[in-house]
Amino acid sequence: MPHPYVIFHIYPTDCDMLGHLNHATMLNFLERARWALIEGQQDLRSWAQGEVFPVVRHVDISYRAQSLPGENLAIRSGLLRVGTTSYTVKQEARKLHDHSIVAEAEIVFVAVNREGQPVAVPDRWTGALAPWTGDDPGV
């Protein structure tokens, strides 16, 4: 199972006009952290030509602290729950220097076929993500 943390450095271009990490950039960091966890386990090119795809149904994100240029964030991801045709990934972004939580997110995905119809979540998808634990294993 891959390590649940992916590290991101915040550059000024990642920030809004007030100098804080931009919301869209945070969503991008979260997505890149999810891809980083499965990239080593699945050939992404052949996966993209498969018959079943995950689509985002719902994103719930809460911000707890600001993030500024020059800081490093560690994003932890894990599988929170699995339904018949959907699954939920929980993610948490923490500052590396003090481990304070910057943001928490839950993203609900639905497995769909090429026609866009919901289908059963493939076991290989959920097996690629470590289960979410409430305990922070540390960076």
pLDDT of residue 137: 56
Domains of the chain, with CATH numbers?
5-127 (3.10.129.10)
Distance CA 5, CA 71 (A): 16
d(CA 98, CA 103): 14
CA 129 to chain centre: 10
Q: Checking DSSP bridges between strand 72-82 and strand 5-9, what pairing results, if any?
A: antiparallel
pLDDT in tens, 66-112: 999 999 999 999 999 999 999 999 999 999 999 999 999 999 999 99
Two tokens at 57?
């149904």
- pLDDT band of residue 3 (cuts 50, 70, 90) is low
Q: Across residues 28-45, what is the average pLDDT?
A: 83
Q: Which has the higher per-residue pLDDT, 40 or 55?
A: 55
- Helices H / strands E in the chain, number of each: 3, 5
| Beta strand extents in 45-131 (DSSP E only) | 52-63, 72-82, 86-95, 101-113
Tell me what pLDDT residue 118 has: 97
Residues 60/83, Cβ–Cβ less than 8 Å:
no
Burial of 112 from C-beta contacts in 10 A (0-12 / 13-18 / 19+) = middle
31 in Cβ contact with 77 (< 8 Å):
no
pLDDT in the model for residue 119: 97
- Judge whether residue 45 has pLDDT over 50: yes
What is this structure's pTM?
A: 0.89
